[in-house]
Chain A
Amino acid sequence: MLKYLVYRVATIVPVLLGVSIVVFLMMKLIPGDPAEAILGPAATTEKIEMVRKSLGLDQPFYVQYVRWLWKVVHGDFGTSIAVNVPVAQLVWPKFWNTVLLTIGSLVVCMIVGLGVGIVSGTRQYSWFDRISMSLTLVVANTPAFWLGLILMVVLALRLGWFPATGMYSMRASEKTVGDLIHHMVLPAITTGAVSAAIIARLVRSSFLDVIRKHYITALRAKGLAERDIILRHGMKNALPPIINIVGLQVGYLMGGALFTEVVFSWPGIGLQIYSSIVARDLPVVQAAVLVTTFVFVLVNLSTDIVVAALDPRIRRA
């Protein structure tokens, strides 16, 4: 197990390096000259050259990359073009807001997904199974942004049960947890719904898969009660693919949260990326993508390790 751990941690280093290169190159591929963008159309050639020099743009690519990477590793993501504050200052608080939303969405999608999946899996062909599978099919193909709009119309605008935008009430002088949760409900449902549907379908099929295996019949022949078989053996075997997908869903949640944040004006990193793209504030986009991807890689690493702990066959590789 330890060997596997070391091996997996070692493999993410080149991946993270690769990610940083891709992010760096992405910014370099933007049409137009950044110096000109900063100075505006009236700038003279000398001024442009000066700014280019100060930005380090006259150096060859790999030098620029190393410089940039050095700064990033030290937490310096540069300065926002639109707002003229250090990008780090802009990005980190938003990041944590997204984490909060992601956690809320995870809660929704895990509870609903696992619950529906297990009940459907153990009662194949029942009316619950048929209805839930039809429903999950529809929800899995629903655009998150559209779902957000609909929830907003019905539950916030028409019925007034939940606030339509934001993280906290504007009026409240103190930011309470209750207020936060009240604001989080609609966004969390919006972001979590598609994942919940996907997870429900996956849990169900993973379960059915395991139940059909020969060792389940052998366990019955041992005299074990059905419930023990499902809980002790079934779960342990059905869990790895489920955990895998849950890990990937976290990635979707962090990315999909972008749409939700835009619809509900939730001040997270997704909304930040969006407004920065619109404002062509590319250092912010760069930093936000880098941070989010980094976290995604770590989450995937963790799920891989958990899966290896559960399924001894994986550790051979």
Chain B
Amino acid sequence: MSAVNLQVKDAADARLAADSLAEQEMFRRPSEWRIFWEAFRQDRLAVGAAAVIALVCLASLLAPVLSPYDPTVGDNSLRLAPMGTPGHILGLDGQGRDILSRLLWGGRVSLIIALLPVAVASIVSVFLGLVAGFFGGKVDMVIMRALDVFFAFPAVLLAVAIAGVLGPGMLNVMLSLTIVLIPYISRVAYMATVTVKNELFVDQARVSGARPRQILFHHILPNTLSPVIVYGSTLVGIMIVLGAGLSFLGLGITPPRPDWGIMCSDGRNFLSVAPHVSAVPGVVLIIVAMSFNIVGDGLRDALDPKLRK
């Protein structure tokens, strides 16, 4: 704000000066995205977690290049060698396969099993939530009641049952997870849609003659996307763990392709002599799941207008 204004002689002058100042302020206001980005940037924990995720994704992506050994070929002489064995920093498993290599290659599977279902389920859910929330009435009832039925199942049980019924294989695991996720994300999208729909500015848009589709896309969709994105990030963390669980039970990908869940299961027989075979992939699971969780929290805090001021 300006210092003491000596030139102002009376109220009218003051008003002019203040008006032009206000105008300048208006043009200097940053856009929504910048506000969000600034807020997120300041949350150092979230940024750190995002970096971890990026690192892990990159490492898995570059598995063919980074992996020191073939993850499916074992060296029998070094079976169950502990961590720190020369040439095998994370040790070897029951079939003499290098654990680090299996982690890198396994990351591809475990990450995709978590990311893809959340992405696909989000798209379907946003659609369902928007339609049910926006049109209301019978459409709302039918869609939400149908989803309520799926809500009635304990999620883990449903995932195991569907994956079990469909049979092993990566696609079946992802399908099962997607089906389990849809009711949860839909509900979030639905509530966001209904909330926004009832906000005054949508009424205003209607009154000014905007067509329903315009209202849907320009106003409701953006406001529905942010809670879905926040929720989705947290869900990815949960899916990493659940996906690994399904693989642990043998309901996931078929060997010899590794993934982090199968690696834990492989080590079960050697727990007393070589616990690192199961322990190490678990630690990786924890770190990655935690990172998604933290990022999800960070996104939520950064997008919340109340917390920004």
Specify whether A and B are partners: yes
Residues of A with Cβ closer than 8 Å to B? 14-16, 18-19, 21-22, 26-27, 29-31, 137-138, 140-146, 149-150, 152-153, 157-158, 251-252, 254-256, 258-259, 262-263, 273-274, 277-278, 282, 285, 289, 292-293, 296-297, 300
B241 to A143, Cβ gap below 8 A?
A: yes
Kindly list chain B residues whose C-beta atoms are within 8 Å of the C-beta of A19: 149, 152-153
Nearest B residue (CB) for A140 = B293
B156 to A258, Cβ gap below 8 A?
A: yes
Could you pull out 21 A-B pairs where Cβ atoms are within 8 angstroms? A137-B294, A141-B237, A143-B241, A143-B245, A146-B264, A150-B275, A150-B279, A252-B154, A252-B155, A252-B156, A255-B155, A259-B156, A259-B245, A273-B160, A277-B160, A277-B161, A282-B165, A285-B161, A289-B157, A292-B157, A296-B153
CB distance from B80 to the nearest CB of A (A): 14
B165 to A157, Cβ gap below 8 A?
A: no
A157 to B278, Cβ gap below 8 A?
A: no
Report Cα–Cα, A226/B289, bound state, in Å.
38
Question: Does B250 belong to the interface (CB within 8 Å)?
Answer: yes
Question: Does B66 belong to the interface (CB within 8 Å)?
Answer: no
Kindly list chain B residues whose C-beta atoms are within 8 Å of the C-beta of A137: 290, 293-294
Nearest A residue (CB) for B243 = A143
Sort A-B residue pairs by CB-CB distance and give the 4 closest, nearest first: A255-B156, A18-B149, A277-B164, A146-B282
CB distance from A214 to the nearest CB of B (A): 15
B157 to A258, Cβ gap below 8 A?
A: yes
Kindly list chain A residues whose C-beta atoms are within 8 Å of the C-beta of B241: 141-143
Extra pairs beyond A138-B286, A289-B153 (13, CB < 8 Å) = A19-B152, A26-B162, A29-B166, A138-B290, A141-B286, A141-B289, A142-B286, A143-B241, A144-B245, A146-B278, A149-B279, A150-B279, A262-B249
B264 to A149, Cβ gap below 8 A?
A: yes
A285 to B165, Cβ gap below 8 A?
A: yes
Kindly list chain B residues whose C-beta atoms are within 8 Å of the C-beta of A152: 271
> Which residues of B256-272 have CB atoms within 8 Å of chain A's CB atoms?
261, 264, 267-268, 271-272
Kindly list chain B residues whose C-beta atoms are within 8 Å of the C-beta of A27: 165
A274 to B249, Cβ gap below 8 A?
A: yes
Nearest B residue (CB) for A137 = B290
B165 to A26, Cβ gap below 8 A?
A: yes
B161 to A143, Cβ gap below 8 A?
A: no
Report Cα–Cα, A255/B245, bound state, in Å.
12
CB distance from B109 to the nearest CB of A (A): 15
Report Cα–Cα, A292/B286, bound state, in Å.
28
Count, A-B residue pairs, CB within 8 A: 135
> Which residues of B34-93 have CB atoms within 8 Å of chain A's CB atoms?
none
Question: Does B167 belong to the interface (CB within 8 Å)?
Answer: yes
Nearest B residue (CB) for A30 = B165
Question: Does B189 belong to the interface (CB within 8 Å)?
Answer: no
CB distance from B301 to the nearest CB of A (A): 12
Kindly list chain A residues whose C-beta atoms are within 8 Å of the C-beta of B285: 142-143, 146
CB distance from B237 to the nearest CB of A (A): 6
Kindly list chain A residues whose C-beta atoms are within 8 Å of the C-beta of B248: 143, 145, 259
Kindly list chain A residues whose C-beta atoms are within 8 Å of the C-beta of B282: 142-143, 146, 149-150
Nearest B residue (CB) for A16 = B152
Report Cα–Cα, A112/B261, bound state, in Å.
28
Report Cα–Cα, A19/B154, bound state, in Å.
11
Chain B interface secondary structure, helix, strand, loop or mixed? helix
Report Cα–Cα, A34/B145, bound state, in Å.
31
A278 to B152, Cβ gap below 8 A?
A: no
> Which residues of B144-190 have CB atoms within 8 Å of chain A's CB atoms?
145-146, 148-150, 152-158, 160-162, 164-167
Kindly list chain B residues whose C-beta atoms are within 8 Å of the C-beta of A142: 241, 282, 285-286
Report Cα–Cα, A138/B286, bound state, in Å.
7
Report Cα–Cα, A196/B275, bound state, in Å.
25
B245 to A251, Cβ gap below 8 A?
A: no
B161 to A273, Cβ gap below 8 A?
A: yes
Kindly list chain A residues whose C-beta atoms are within 8 Å of the C-beta of B272: 153, 157-158
Partner of B271, one of A16, A157, A258, A282: A157
Kindly list chain A residues whose C-beta atoms are within 8 Å of the C-beta of B294: 137
Report Cα–Cα, A282/B167, bound state, in Å.
12
B161 to A149, Cβ gap below 8 A?
A: no
Instruction: Please indicate which of the listed interface residues A142, A149, A285 has the most CB atoms of chain B within 10 Å of its own CB.
Output: A149
Question: Does B132 belong to the interface (CB within 8 Å)?
Answer: no
Nearest B residue (CB) for A250 = B154
Report Cα–Cα, A251/B282, bound state, in Å.
24
CB distance from B279 to the nearest CB of A (A): 6
CB distance from A62 to the nearest CB of B (A): 17
Given contacts A145-B248, A152-B271, A251-B155, contact A22 B149 (CB under 8 A): yes
CB distance from B97 to the nearest CB of A (A): 19
CB distance from A85 to the nearest CB of B (A): 21
B149 to A143, Cβ gap below 8 A?
A: no
CB distance from A140 to the nearest CB of B (A): 7
Partner of A296, one of B150, B154, B162: B154
